[in-house]
Amino acid sequence: MKANMKLENYPPARDNELLQRVEDIGEEHLMSSLETPMRKDAFVLSAEEKVNLIEEKFADILHILGMDLTDDSLSGTPRRVAKMYVNEIFQGLLPENKPQAKLFDNKYRYGQMLVEKNITVHSYCEHHLVPILGKAHVAYISSGKVIGLSKINRLVRYFAKRPQVQERLTEQIGEELKRALQTEDVAVYIDAEHMCVATRGVEDCASSTVTVHYSGKFKEESYRNEYLKIIE
Q: Which of 3-7, 89-93, 109-113 has the highest mean pLDDT?
A: 89-93
Same domain, 85 and 106: no
Residue 169: give the domain boundaries.
102-231
Tell me if 116 is assigned to some domain. Answer: yes
Mean pLDDT within 120-143 = 96
Same domain, 26 and 75: yes
pLDDT at 2: 37
Residue-wise pLDDT for 157-204, tens only, equals: 999 999 999 999 999 999 999 999 999 999 999 999 999 998 988 889
Query: Taking all residues of the chain, what is their mean pLDDT, rounded to a whole number?
Result: 89
* Beta partners for residue 6, in sequence order: none
- Residues near 1 by beta carbon (within 8 Å), at least 6 away in sequence: 30, 167
Which sign, positive or negative, has the C-alpha torsion 227, 228, 229, 232? positive
- The residue annotated as part of the active site, out of 91, 122, 128, 184, is 128
Q: Model-level pTM greater than 0.85?
A: no
For the ranges 22-31, 95-104, 110-119, 213-222, the lowest mean pLDDT is seen at 22-31
Q: Which one-letter DSSP state was computed for residue 92? A: G
Same domain, 80 and 124: no
Q: How far is CA 205 from CA 55, 130, 198, 201, 211, in A?
A: 32, 14, 4, 11, 18
Same domain, 76 and 39: yes
Same domain, 208 and 110: yes
pLDDT at 10: 43
Tell me if 2 is assigned to some domain. Answer: no
- The residue annotated as part of the active site, out of 29, 137, 164, 196, is 196
Structural domains in the chain (count): 2
Distance separating the N- and C-terminal Cα atoms of the chain: 27
Same domain, 62 and 113: no
CA 23 from centroid of its chain's CA atoms? 20
126 has catalytic annotation: yes
- The residue annotated as part of the active site, out of 29, 127, 137, 213, is 127
Same domain, 153 and 72: no
CATH number of the CATH domain containing 106: 3.30.1130.10
Tell me if 56 is assigned to some domain. Answer: yes
Last residue of a domain, one of 96, 116, 148: 96
Same domain, 189 and 213: yes
Same domain, 121 and 137: yes
Report the share of the chain in percent with pLDDT over 90. Answer: 75
Last residue of a domain, one of 67, 96, 125: 96
pLDDT at 95 over 50: yes
pLDDT at 90 over 70: yes
166 has catalytic annotation: yes
Last residue of a domain, one of 96, 125, 157: 96
196 has catalytic annotation: yes
Same domain, 41 and 107: no
- The residue annotated as part of the active site, out of 29, 137, 164, 166, is 166
pLDDT at 108: 82
Tell me if 63 is assigned to some domain. Answer: yes
Same domain, 218 and 166: yes
55 has catalytic annotation: no
205 has catalytic annotation: no
- The residue annotated as part of the active site, out of 29, 55, 126, 171, is 126
